[in-house]
Amino acid sequence: MRVEVDDAGVAVLTLDGADRLNAFSTETGQALSAAYARCDHDETIKAVVLTGAGRAFCAGADLSAGSGAFAAPGAGFSASPVQPPAFRMRKLVIAAVNGHAIGIGLTLALQCDVRLVCADAQLAVPQVRRGTIGDAAVHFTLTRSVGLAVAAEVLLTGRTFSGAEAAQRGIATRALPAAEVLPAAVAMAREVALLANPASVALSKRLLWADLTADEVAAEETAAHVILMNGPDAAEGAAAWRENRAPRWRPTAGDGRTTG
């Protein structure tokens, strides 16, 4: 796992096993968990991009003989081996899916807030064809993104589809040529890092991923407005717009909560 942070506060996390198409292992899960935790708690980091080294994003679990990928699980096993998941972080997390994303490779990307994909990449959640089911909370993330019908087709057939189809069906935000995926993701992350209020991003992201009714969301939005408008952020945003300058936000995202 490589972690690089630029001058705008954008952290690029790279799954760094190109010789194995960045196949997922226990060590990968531990390294990504640690990187996510660091990015979530480091207030100098404003946005995160997750990508893969070489020509793949992540080819999924190592299925070679002796790997034990689908062996009987022991005590403490979890089908969600990356904690915190991207959707629980307070920062924007963008998946730059630069190549093939299979199994947990795709389900980890689906935990991100935004997905930019290589148009020619092969994508799949094929676990029903391997004797298991999708992991990393994909039955929540995919259904939330595209609805039951599309999620059912992806998860119950296990079929492979292209990045271009993923964008057409709402599984990804945009499909791009492979060489453009990471630069586009970083450009988006830098725009957020430089212009968006960290506390506003944290509060808005929490609501986007919350399992709440319309009335509950409206109440949470009101609570968020009260927090932000009672502090310097809302006034600073308006002043920056009037003065045609970059905003000077407080350096903290807070805890991303409006109520306990």
CATH of the domain at 141: 3.90.226.10
Q: Which residues pair with 115 in a beta bridge?
A: 95
Say yes or no: 182 and 217 in one domain.
no
Under DSSP, is residue 140 helix (H, G, I), strand (E, B) or coil?
helix
Report the chain's mean pLDDT, rounded to a whole number: 93
- Cα 28 versus chain centre, distance: 16
Co-location of 211 and 102 in the same domain: no
Residue 257 lies in a domain: no
pTM: 0.93
The beta strands (E) that lie in the chain are given as: 2-5, 10-15, 47-52, 56-58, 92-97, 100-102, 114-118, 122-124, 161-162, 174-176
Structure confidence at residue 259 as a pLDDT band (50, 70, 90):
very low
Statement to judge: residues 96 and 10 lie in one domain? yes
Q: How far apart are CA 31 and CA 15, in angstroms?
A: 9
Categorize the per-residue pLDDT at 76 as very low, low, confident or very high, splitting at 50, 70 and 90. Answer: confident
Based on the fold, state whether residues 187 and 235 are members of the same structural domain: no
Among the candidates 167, 193, 219, a domain finishes at 193
Tokens of 128: 């029903």
Q: Which residues constitute the domain of residue 145?
A: 2-193
For residues 91 and 75, membership in a common domain is answered with: yes
Instruction: Please indicate, yes or no, whether residues 227 and 132 belong to a single structural domain of this protein.
Output: no
Q: What is the mean pLDDT of residues 62-72?
A: 57
* Total structural domains within the chain: 2
Does 253 fall in a domain?
A: no
Least confident residue range of 43-52, 175-184, 200-209, 234-243: 234-243
